[in-house]
Amino acid sequence: MSEWAMRGKGVPVRLEKVSFSYGEAPLTFDVAFAAAEITAIMGPSGSGKSTLLNLVAGFETPQSGRVLIGGADVGADPPSARPVSMVFQENNLFGHLSVEQNVGLGRSASLRLTEADRIAIAEALERTGLSGKERRLPRELSGGERQRVALARVLVRDRPVLLLDEPFASLGPALRDDMLDLVAGVHAERGMTVLFVTHQPEDARRIGQNLVFLNNGTVAATGSADDFFAGAGPEAFRRYIGASAGNAVSRDIARKRT
């Protein structure tokens, strides 16, 4: 594989005065994500969380500014050439391909797999608890298992940056905790840089080391997750997470924001 495929080498991600617009309100991001750490990205709907990930992944092109991954400007690279893997909320798998094939696509986009690739795939399936389900089709799996397949593919792709766009939002609480622990475990082994968009404060608390809070299309605050939840975040953040932060602001106000 390529030069970044060295284990335990997360690289820093930086958006430098990046501006972007869907035609309405412009979004501007100027933010750095620390290498090899998990950063939770939170913010109300429409604040630009998914757009930020799409800019890093290469699904969107900035109108101005630079996207730097590991210090290199990746602006001209198509999504598949960037040193990132991404897991979406849904549609992570091809419905007509088996679990094994879906994971294998992370190694070879034309599914021409070497023996070494097959071993890596088997290991990844083992690590994500999917052994014995290699030949199943996605529709024969539960929602949680499907996301595990996506994570297994992240493992065989082995890129230094992992982007998670609310991948566990449709799972129940217990299952979500399992998945979060799996992500944390994989992160401990591989040490990639993880950007994790979530709506759940518990998620951010559970595995987030840092937290970036977006509001109105821009970065409103950054800091360590612990500080945020200890009440050091801005007013807008406290309003956003509402009663679960344990402060006096009522839920109704928080709801109106979303």
Partner 1 sequence: MAGGDEQIGRVVTPAQTMDSRVSAGIIALAAITLLIGGAFAGLLVEGAHDFSGAWGAFDPYLLRVVRFTLWQAILSTLLSVVPALFVARALSRHPRFFGRAFILQLFAVPLALPAIVAALGILALYGRAGYFAGLFSAVGGQDWPGIYGLSGILVAHVFFNLPLATRLFLEALQTIPADQWRLASQLGMAARPAFRLIEWPTLRAALPGVAGLVFMLCITSFTIVLTLGGGPAATTLEVGIYQALRFDFDPARAVALTLLQIGLTFIVVLALTRLGANVVGDTNLPVAPRRYLSVNGTETTLNAALIVLALLFVVGPMAATVLAGLGADLGRLAGEATVRQATLTSAVLAFLSALLSVMLSLALTMARRALALNRRAGPRTLLEHATDTGAGFVLVVPPIVIGAGWFLLLRHAGDVFAIAPVMVVTVNSVMAMPFALRAIRPAYDAASERHERLCAQLGISGWARLRLVDWPSLRRPLATAFAFAMALSLGDLGVIALFGSDSVQTLPYLLLARMGSYRTQDAAGLALLLGLVCLALVLAADWLGRHKVRNV
Binder to partner 1 among 2, 115, 116, 139 (CB under 8 A)? 139
Beta strands at 38-42 and 210-215: parallel, antiparallel or unpaired: parallel
Could you tell me if 49 and 41 are in contact, meaning their C-beta atoms sit under 8 angstroms apart?
yes
Furthest-apart CA atoms within the chain: distance in Å = 59
Q: Does 256 bind partner 1 (CB under 8 A)?
A: no
CA–CA separation, 127 vs 211, rounded Å?
27
Q: Using CB under 8 A, count the residues that bind partner 1.
A: 45
Q: Kindly tell me which residue out of 63, 114, 131, 258 binds partner 1, with binding defined by CB under 8 A.
A: 258
CA distances from 40 to 37, 89, 243 (A): 10, 15, 19
Could you say which of 88, 122, 202, 234 contacts partner 1 (CB under 8 A)? 88
Options 2, 78, 115, 248; binder of partner 1; rule CB under 8 A: 78
- Near partner 1 by CB under 8 A: residue from 1, 34, 81, 253: 81
Q: Which 3-state string (H, E, C) describes 73-84?
A: ECCCCCHHHCCE
Q: Kindly write out the interface string for residues 195-234 of this chain, putting x where it contacts partner 1 by CB under 8 A and - elsewhere.
A: ----xx----------------------------------
CB 138 within 8 A of CB 98: no
Q: Are strands 218-224 and 38-42 parallel, antiparallel or unpaired?
A: unpaired
Q: Give the shortest CB-45-to-partner 1 separation in angstroms.
A: 4
**In 130-206, beta strands by DSSP E:** 161-165, 193-197
Write phi, then psi, for 103 (nearest 5 degrees).
-70, -40
Binding track, positions 19-58, relative to partner 1; x by CB under 8 A: ---xx--------------------xxx-xxxx--x--xx
Give the pair of three-digit tokens for residue 228: 């945020």
State which residue, 74 or 186, has the beta carbon closest to partner 1.
74
CB of 30 to partner 1, least distance (A): 19
Question: Footprint of partner 1 on this chain (CB under 8 A)?
Answer: 22-23, 44-46, 48-51, 54, 57-61, 78-81, 85-86, 88-89, 91-97, 105-106, 109-111, 138-139, 146, 165-166, 169-170, 199-200, 258
